[in-house]
Structure 1
């Protein structure tokens, strides 16, 4: 299993669960608008959380732990587009090119976890 992480507002995740599909790409942008769901690897998550959710109380956030083997949509590791929130660089981020089935989420973690890290 490749572990992919996606940070989101708890209310957004909870509202998606009954449908069985999560379709938000990133804060304020849907899968339909963006074309994919932004994800992170564990070491990338603190930077992403700071850029997207610095103004959000940690208790309002949740980290979705996704089992990539449970996805039917393709996952591509791609560099950020210049000017995107994570900035230019050579590090690639996982992108899920389709809806996220609720069944692919194998854990939900509070943000921040122990010592300010997810988990």
Structure 2
């Protein structure tokens, strides 16, 4: 069973600002892959280290999955993720109303992202 109480998404502050203006977050990755990459709070550091190492312009969106309005499918990540780990993927745009909190998401001094402490 998956923890579906809170999901998270990492994006840059400019993309989130644009989403707030239009009412939904629709990243380029949605067009390429057909879904928005989400994580549980316990998984967020894995894609952060793979995709965003050293970036200091990121925010962490905390999402209520009951408010997304599109299907969330739990699917495998990449081969370097822990065996049998599944990630939530949102097949549709993310309404800004589904975002319950926005937090600055900064790397450690070495550029890596630590696991979230929640």
TM-score, length of structure 1 as denominator length: 0.80
State the Cα RMSD in Å. Answer: 2.3
After TM superposition, the runs of 4+ consecutive aligned structure 1 residues lying more than 4 A away are none
User: Matches of 2:37 and 2:58 in 1, distance apart?
Assistant: 16
What is the CA-CA distance between 1:50 and the residue it aligns to?
A: 1.0
Q: Which of residues 87, 95, 106 in structure 1 aligns to 2:89?
A: 95
Asked if the contact 1:46/1:118 (under 8 Å) is kept, the reply is: no
User: Matches of 1:54 and 1:30 in 2, distance apart?
Assistant: 18
Asked if the contact 1:110/1:118 (under 8 Å) is kept, the reply is: no
Deviations along 1:1-48, one digit per CA (max 9) or x if unpaired, are 621100011111111111101011xxxx43122100000001111121
Structure number with the higher helix fraction is 1
Asked if the contact 2:42/2:115 (under 8 Å) is kept, the reply is: no
Alignment partner, residue 18 of structure 2:
15
Cα–Cα, structure 1 residues 118 and 103, in superposed 2: closer, same or farther, change >3 Å?
farther
Cα–Cα, structure 1 residues 56 and 111, in superposed 2: closer, same or farther, change >3 Å?
same
User: Matches of 1:99 and 1:10 in 2, distance apart?
Assistant: 17
TM-score, length of structure 2 as denominator length: 0.81
Deviations along 1:57-110, one digit per CA (max 9) or x if unpaired, are 2xx11000010000110111111255xxx5473100000010100000010011
Show structure 1 runs of 5+ residues with no match.
Answer: none
Count of residues paired in the alignment: 109
